[in-house]
């Protein structure tokens, strides 16, 4: 499955729903999406990864890039993920300390700290 992306607003948060596989081939599409959102003034982003089937370090790099961009505007980038196979790579790379990872979109949207 290729990468699928859709965005919606929930209050002052922008939710990006990502599905499929994020790898060296598809990651540029996600990077462009995040850059476009930040350029358009969306600085509080929730990335819903519940439908992601595969993620490698190329995808992680894009998420970290997105985090740096929103932080430059005092924004936030939160992840929604409960899939063990996806969470594993966040743990291996130590990125669980960098990203707030939530178990539902509602929880991520409501989070303020």
Partner 1 sequence: MPTVTVSFTPLPAHVRTARFIAASVARRAGVPETVLDEVRLAVSEACSLAVRLHRASAPEVPVELRMVEDDKKFRIQVVDAVPRARPTEDDVYAALSIGDDDGVALASAEGAVDLQARERIGLAVITGLVDEVDVEYLANGTVVAMAWPLELAEREEASSLPSMGG
Q: Choose between 4 and 57: whose C-beta lies nearer to partner 1.
A: 57
Provide the pairing of β-strand 101-102 with 76-80. Answer: parallel
Q: Could you tell me if 86 and 55 are in contact, meaning their C-beta atoms sit under 8 angstroms apart?
A: yes
Does the protein bind partner 1 through residue 92 (CB under 8 A)? yes
Pick between residue 10 and residue 65 the one whose CB is nearest to partner 1. 65
Angle of helix 57-71 versus helix 84-92 axis, rounded to 10: 70
Q: Smallest distance, Å, CB 11 to partner 1?
A: 26
Q: Which residues of 88-106 are buried (b: 16+ CB within 10 A; e: fewer)?
A: eebeeeebeeebbbbeebe
Angle between helices 27-39 and 57-71 (to 10 degrees): 10
Which parts of 7-36 interact with partner 1 (CB under 8 A)? Answer: 21, 23-25, 28, 31
Residue 112 phi/psi, 5-degree rounding, is -125, -20
Least distance (Å) from partner 1 to the CB of residue 76? 13
Among 19, 54, 101, 111, the residue binding partner 1 under the rule CB under 8 A is: 54
Nearer to partner 1, 31 or 102 (CB): 31
Q: Which residue ranges make up the site for partner 1 (CB under 8 A)?
A: 21, 23-25, 28, 31, 54, 56-58, 60-62, 64-65, 67-68, 71, 85, 88-89, 92-98
């Amino acid at each position: 499955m290729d990468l699928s992306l859709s965005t919606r607003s929930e209050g002052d948060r922008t939710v990006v729903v990502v599905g499929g596989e994020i790898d060296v081939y598809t990651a540029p599409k996600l990077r462009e999406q995040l850059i476009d959102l930040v350029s358009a003034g969306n600085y509080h982003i929730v990335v819903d990864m519940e439908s992601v089937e595969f993620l490698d370090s190329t995808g992680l790099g894009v998420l970290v890039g997105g985090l740096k961009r929103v932080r430059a505007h005092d924004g936030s980038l939160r992840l929604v993920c409960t899939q063990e196979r996806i969470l594993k790579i966040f743990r291996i790379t130590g990125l669980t300390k960098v990203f707030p990872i939530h178990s539902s979109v509602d929880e991520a949207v409501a989070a303020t700290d």
